[in-house]
Amino acid sequence: MSFQLNNEQQMAIYDSLLLLTGREIKHLKGSWAEIFSKKVFPFIDEDRFSVLYSDNPATRPNNPANVYFGLLILRDIFNQSDEEALSSLMFDLRYQYALPTTSFQEQPVCVRTRTGRPVSKNSLTNFRAAVYSYNQEHGVDLIQEEIESHAQQFSKLLKIEGKTIRMDSLMVSSSCRKLSRLEIIYSTVARLIKVIDKNILPESFKPYLEESHYNDTIYRSACACSHADRSRDKDLNSKIKRVLKDGLKLYFLSRKDKEISKTEEFKLLSRMLKEQTRKGRIKTSKEIAPDSLQNPTDPDATYRKKGKKKHIGYTVNRVSLRY
């Protein structure tokens, strides 16, 4: 799949905004969508994500990277699942105006195909997975870089003054991406597998080296939430148990190897197993401590709640002087 910039932002003759009344336009421009459309979306750097795609122009072009990134921001702002964010983009004109996709005949984002299989990088989940895989391989978090590049702009938008100073306690968010329990376990196991010589790696662990294995394990679990909750929970628990079982096998296989047992990946696996299991059996969610591993890329980050908000990061007491 080749990379191309999003050039489809001109208003078309079938643009959905043309169907609105003057009153509806006024309300739309007075909503959060107007601010996002004018102050956030235009500054998203699509080129940053070009490394995720092929440089062969003969292949099928990608869907707009800035629309994907913008939708991920809105997804987190409104605390939505992938399916909820997609539905909002398809049926909520404010999302389409914010991104802006009102002239698209069909919204350029999907979650899965009709068969339930992942859709290359034209899937919201797979776009995020591609960013994660690139971070694993190159040590570069494209989403983090893009957010940090707009820090000054966001400060102005939120009216954060450098001279406005006070004393407060706060949660400093970690730069790591929030992972589900299954993702934490899977990522820890996969990281150690990747440092083991392929020639001595047992066949049962080699599927973890394939990108599709991550998608099949994590993505399909997430998609199941649109069906009955009981079947979803059963499917998720079975996957957690299966990956944990692989983690235990890997631990006992690797601890006798002097070189592998000294690696940071092995230490993280040992820590994860200690936090997630008791005597080889999976712990319940309530038994997992707040200071447990939240993301292998940032082992020191912990889970906390301040007020009604949940945070992954660090607790800080900030003392500032007014001048």
Residue 291 contacts residue 302 (beta carbons within 8 Å)? yes
Amino acid type, 114: R
Which region, left, alpha or beta, applies to residue 116 given φ > 0 means left and ψ of -120 to 50 means alpha?
left
Closest residue by Cα to residue 99 from 222, 16, 223: 16
Cβ within 8 Å of residue 55, ≥6 positions away? 2, 3
Q: Does residue 188 register a pLDDT over 80? A: yes
Q: In this predicted structure, what is the pLDDT of residue 238?
A: 87
pLDDT for position 233? 64
Phi, psi of 310 (to 5 degrees): -100, 140
pLDDT band at 222 (very low <50, low <70, confident <90, very high): very low
What is the CB neighbour count within 10 angstroms for residue 52? 17
pLDDT of residue 60: 74
Q: How many CB atoms are closer than 10 A to CB 41?
A: 20
Stretch among 36-50, 80-94, 127-141, 227-241 having the lowest mean pLDDT: 227-241
Tell me the average pLDDT across 79-101.
90
Higher pLDDT, residue 224 or 161: 161
How far apart, in Å, do the first and last CA atoms of the chain sit? 54
Residue 53's pLDDT is what? 83
Report the distance separating Cα 94 and Cα 34, nearest Å.
8
Q: Tell me, what's the pLDDT at 7? A: 65
Looking at residue 162, its pLDDT comes to 55
Q: Mean pLDDT across the stretch 84-113?
A: 85
Query: pLDDT averaged over the chain?
Result: 77
Tens of pLDDT, residues 124-178 = 777 888 888 888 888 889 988 888 888 777 777 766 665 554 555 444 444 445 5
pTM: predicted TM-score of the whole model, two decimal places? 0.51
